[in-house]
Amino acid sequence: MNWRVALIALAAVAAVALLAWLLQGGKPQVEQVEFFDVVELPTPTPAPEQRVILLFAGRDGMLHPELRSVPLPEEVHERIRVVMSELLAGPRSAPRLSPPVPYPASLQAVFVDQHGNAYVDLTAPPKPLAGSSTELMLAYGVVNSIILNCPEVSAVQILFGGHEVDTLTGHLDLSRPLVLNKRFIASS
């Protein structure tokens, strides 16, 4: 291969590169997005144990507090998850009390807005629930337990299966966040 052939080859490469650039209409350089960045996560520091107040349903139509020491994180979403996990697991010390959510529910998502409204999304009941008592225990068991243990939260709206509901059994207004209601907390 002599120098003339090499020159032609170089010119051709340059022409193709120019053509490619023109085909893009002189657009900015397109950047390929890279994924799979591997970030080494720091070993999480265990949250300090703190006492939480959990409210369980009694047969008198009132919520009864149970104090429990659990590792309680500072971060509000994480804190709500811990409170809900303990609440849904049911009472430990009083066998006559029941979990306020009367079906095997799990917490699907937690949203907290800048005004201190928390939105907790529970799995929907497998069959329709009934009774104002059922509705009050569920709503205020969840709302009060979260607000009493999470200072950043001032009101809680409960979603079911990813949906807002106006009411669960036809009595209580669940279409908006509910604030702390101590009327349903037993005094002793």
Residues that bind other proteins (CB under 8 A): 1, 5, 8-9, 12-13, 15-17, 20, 23, 27-33, 35-36, 59-61, 73, 75-78, 81, 98, 102, 108-115, 117, 119, 121, 130-134, 136, 155, 157, 159, 162-167, 169-173, 176-181, 183-184
- Smaller CB separation from other proteins, 18 or 51: 18
Element (DSSP H or E) covering residue 42: none
167 in Cβ contact with 132 (< 8 Å) = no
- Smaller CB separation from other proteins, 12 or 94: 12
Q: How far apart are CA 6 and CA 2, in angstroms?
A: 7
Minimum Å distance from CB 81 to other proteins? 7
Minimum Å distance from CB 151 to other proteins? 16
Q: Could you give phi then psi for residue 48, rounded to 5 degrees? A: -70, 145
- Smaller CB separation from other proteins, 54 or 101: 101
Element (DSSP H or E) covering residue 122: strand 117-122
Minimum Å distance from CB 91 to other proteins? 13
Contacts of 106 (CB under 8 A, 6+ apart): 88, 122, 123
Kindly list the distances between the CA atom of residue 182 and the CA atoms of 40, 57, 97, in Å, as whole numbers in the listed order: 45, 14, 18
Minimum Å distance from CB 31 to other proteins? 5
